[in-house]
Structure 1
Amino acid sequence: MLSSFSIETMHTITGSLLEPVVWALLFMLGLCIWETGQAIGERFGGLRQLAERGDLYLAEQQGKRRIERADLITRIAPMLGLMGTLIPLGPGLAALGDGELRILTTAMTVAFDTTIMGLLAGITGFILGRFRRRWYDRLLYEMETELDNREACYE
């Protein structure tokens, strides 16, 4: 029905994206594990050490970087999961039309797995971002208050 060079090219490009999308999702899950470990370290000592240094600029910059990484995971991972869902569905539905249920089953499994991976990474990134925002807001408030108190003592 629809066959032209542009459609075939588009299909070839789309089909070749599945493997990189799966690897990107695995990377995002690894990054989530890394960031979770970082957040645990921040919560149970890292932020206290940062406060003891008294460098407000450093604390603000570190907070921004870590929150941005969590936000990146929150936004990108579900998009990758959706791509991993849609890419195998085309060939899977075409296989259904040919009566190849085994191919459809494999395609549906890949589709569901990538969706779950993307959502899991996105949820983890969202939770990390929320916690980190709260922690760094509190840290910066306390550091600014202490700085204001020190300046008031010198006046």
Structure 2
Amino acid sequence: MAIDSFLFQLMYTASAALLYPVVILLLLAVATSLGLIGEFISEYAKRHRNVRELEKVGRSVQESVKASSLDNAAEKLHSLDQNQLVTSFAKDAGDYLKQNSVSSIDWLSEEYEVRMTKRLEQTKILSTVAPMLGLMGTLIPLGPALIGLAQGDILQLANNLMIAFATTVLGLFAGVVGYVLTLIRKRWYWQDMADIDYLVDSMGSEQ
């Protein structure tokens, strides 16, 4: 029994010691989610997609590449004004065309795909980890709360329950923000990737 009591006490002490790190991480998660909301609003305000312009530039680039006029194709790409990632890709691709390095365009498109995936990882991690931290922050104070209940210490019970409920709310808030931003950005980046693939095809880098 002495060994059991020691192990149980050790487990309780270890779990209780995790409360402050969990609370700190939760506060960081909430701060991160607020920052991501601001970043999302800024990104939304800057998004601009003109399908007609994209098709026009794509056809012009295709004709220029077929005519071996890579400098002209590069100028067309540099003039493209679309969503930030698509515009950035077009400028980088234009630089490769000026260097007569058409074979590098496929590699460049894959690099942009990796970049989009990396931008999604932050909100994915937030949407997964924040609720877990909230659950930990809920369960850890329940031990002291039950002890307070058994001892008739209502103040200890109330304080620990307040911590438990607060961490639950914070974890769910950060998780919801991460989940919603991930869904919306995933749709955005799929659209951007489709536009990039169209430009890649217009340059005939796969031919």
Name the TM-score, length of structure 1 as normaliser.
0.90
In the alignment, structure 1 residue 137 sits paired with structure 2 residue 190: yes
Q: Which amino acid in the other structure matches residue 11 of structure 2?
A: M
Paired residues in the alignment total 153
More helix as a share of residues: 1
**Cα gap change, 1:57/1:41 in structure 2, threshold over 3 Å: closer, same or farther?**
farther
Aligned counterparts of 1:61 and 1:40: Cα–Cα separation in 2: 23
For 1:24-43, what per-residue CA distance to the aligned partner results, in whole angstroms no more than 9, with x for missing partners?
A: 00011111122222222333
1:3-152 equivalences under 5 Å are 4-45=5-46, 48-54=83-89, 55-151=108-204
Q: List, as ranges, runs of 4+ consecutive aligned residues in structure 1 with deviation greater than 6 Å.
A: none
Please say if residues 63 and 132 of structure 1, whose CA atoms lie closer than 8 Å, have aligned partners that are also in contact: no
The superposition leaves residues 46-100 of structure 1 with CA deviations (integer Å, 9 ceiling, x where unpaired) of 7723211225234312211111111100110000000000000111011101111
- Structure showing greater radius of gyration is 2
Tell me the TM-score normalized by structure 2.
Answer: 0.68
Cα distance in structure 1, aligned partners of 2:45 and 2:200 = 23
Letter in 1 for 2:197: E
1:74–1:123 contact (8 Å) kept in structure 2 = yes
Unaligned runs of 5+ in 2: 48-81, 90-107
Return the alpha-carbon distance in structure 2 between the equivalents of residues 101 and 44 of structure 1.
Answer: 50
Q: Cα RMSD between the aligned structures?
A: 2.1
Structure with the greater relative contact order (CA < 8 A, sep ≥ 6): 1 or 2? Answer: 1
Give unpaired runs (5+ residues) of structure 1: none
Distance 2:170 2:111 in 1: 34
Q: Is the contact made by 1:84 and 1:114 (CA closer than 8 Å) also made in structure 2?
A: yes
How far apart are the structure 2 equivalents of 1:101 and 1:12?
Answer: 22
C-alpha distance in 2, partners of 1:70/1:41?
Answer: 16
